[in-house]
């Protein structure tokens, strides 16, 4: 990732934690992730920082004996606050973490604690992926691993086939969502990556964003037509399936697609600087990604989206 070589001797820096249910046994998501990606996570090119009990569980498993994580304080003693602080760049623009994996049990109340909301928000503000389910963490780790030279690639092909599945793109669905201030950003993103996004069998969007992606400026944005028109992707009627707007239930409609396993990826450009009147709907959609059968990758910032398109696109076109 961009900036991955900025700290700890050029090592990729990953924050990791898991709810109790996500690390409760050898078959739990945390240990499945560690086994799948042991050659990558055990590499000297990677530095792990694990919250309290998660660190203890990793050490006890012996799965990363060659590269044990640094232990942060337990979540009950502010470990998530420490993770949040590590996402924020210092005065020289360097953050202590490149991305965060927090495998959250959907029924764990920590998901609504203020420190967890702050962690997610700071990841969005500073362009750091916040990966909250095994599917999302696995796809991200596979793409990062694939893009790093000098690391043992044993098992990489199997993980790319299992979690990224580039050969199945034409049968898969991607969701495209953007808050009002981020709609020009989404249009520019979709225009520049139109060919890649067009490889998906379906594209879903909430109301206004879907209309824009299909080439139509809705009435409520007519005053911004001069700004939006140059950003519109090539007009292809029906290119995106547009649901209701987010405040009118579109987030819930897409959440159902995620729950049913029909949508494994969301690009959801959020504005972290404004209050959202339908915050509950946004959190509902995020929670759905943790209930989904194989998980769902949700990307919330442009830097992470650009990294994903680069890594995923190279595999699809290759």
Read off the pLDDT band of 224 (50, 70, 90): confident
Read off the pLDDT band of 8 (50, 70, 90): low
Nearest to 173 by CA among 100, 245, 233, 253: 253
Q: Which pTM value belongs to this model?
A: 0.93
pLDDT (0 to 100) of residue 3 = 37
pLDDT tens, position by position, 202-220: 999 998 899 899 988 777 7
Q: CA–CA separation, 41 vs 45, rounded Å?
A: 8
List the Cα angle 261/102/33 in 5-degree steps.
Answer: 65
Q: Render 227-288 in DSSP notation, one character per residue.
A: HHGGGPPP--TTSSEE-S-GGGTHHHHHHHHHHTTS--EEEEE--TTS--TTHHHHHHHHHH
Tell me if residue 251 is catalytic.
Answer: yes
pLDDT tens, position by position, 172-199: 999 999 998 999 999 999 999 999 999 9
pLDDT (0 to 100) of residue 9 = 61
Average confidence (pLDDT) over 37-43: 97
> What is the residue-averaged pLDDT of the chain?
91
pLDDT (0 to 100) of residue 1 = 46
pLDDT (0 to 100) of residue 65 = 92
Average confidence (pLDDT) over 208-234: 79
What is the helix (H) or strand (E) element at residue 31, kind and residue range? Answer: helix 29-36
Phi-psi map region of 41: left, alpha, beta (phi>0 left; psi -120 to 50 alpha): alpha
Q: What would the CATH number be for the domain defined by 8-161?
A: 3.40.50.1380
Q: CA–CA separation, 105 vs 125, rounded Å?
A: 24
Q: Where are the domains of the chain?
A: 8-161, 167-317
| Catalytic pick among 105, 251, 281, 301 | 251
CATH architecture of 167-317: 3-Layer(aba) Sandwich (3.40)
């Amino acid at each position: 990732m961009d900036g991955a070589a900025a700290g700890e001797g050029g090592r990729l820096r990953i924050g990791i934690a898991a709810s109790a249910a996500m690390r409760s046994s050898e078959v739990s998501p945390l240990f499945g992730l560690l086994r799948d990606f042991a050659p990558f996570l055990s590499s000297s090119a990677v530095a792990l920082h694990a919250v309290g009990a998660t660190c203890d569980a990793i050490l006890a498993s012996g799965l990363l004996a060659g590269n044990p994580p640094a232990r942060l304080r337990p979540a009950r003693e502010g470990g998530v606050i420490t993770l949040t602080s590590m996402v924020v760049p210092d005065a020289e623009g360097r953050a202590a973490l490149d991305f965060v994996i927090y495998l959250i049990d959907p029924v764990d109340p920590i998901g609504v604690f203020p420190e967890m909301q702050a962690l997610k928000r700071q990841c969005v503000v500073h362009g750091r992926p916040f990966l909250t389910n095994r599917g999302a963490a696995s796809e991200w780790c596979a793409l990062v691993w694939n893009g790093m030279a000098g690391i043992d690639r044993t098992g990489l092909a199997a993980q790319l086939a299992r979690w990224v599945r580039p050969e199945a793109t034409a049968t898969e669905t991607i969701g495209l969502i953007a808050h009002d201030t981020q709609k020009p950003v989404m249009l520019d993103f979709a225009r520049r990556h139109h060919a890649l996004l067009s490889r998906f069998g379906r594209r879903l969007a909430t109301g206004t964003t879907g209309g824009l992606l299909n080439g139509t400026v809705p009435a409520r944005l007519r005053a911004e037509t001069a700004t939006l028109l140059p950003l519109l992707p090539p007009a292809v009627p029906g290119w995106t399936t547009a649901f209701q707007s987010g405040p009118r239930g579109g987030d819930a409609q897409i959440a159902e697609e995620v729950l049913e396993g029909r949508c494994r990826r969301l690009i959801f450009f959020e504005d972290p600087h404004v209050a959202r009147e339908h915050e509950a709907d946004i959190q509902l959609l995020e929670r759905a990604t943790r209930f989904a059968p194989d998980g769902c990758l949700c990307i919330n910032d442009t830097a992470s989206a650009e990294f994903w398109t680069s890594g995923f696109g190279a595999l699809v076109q290759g």
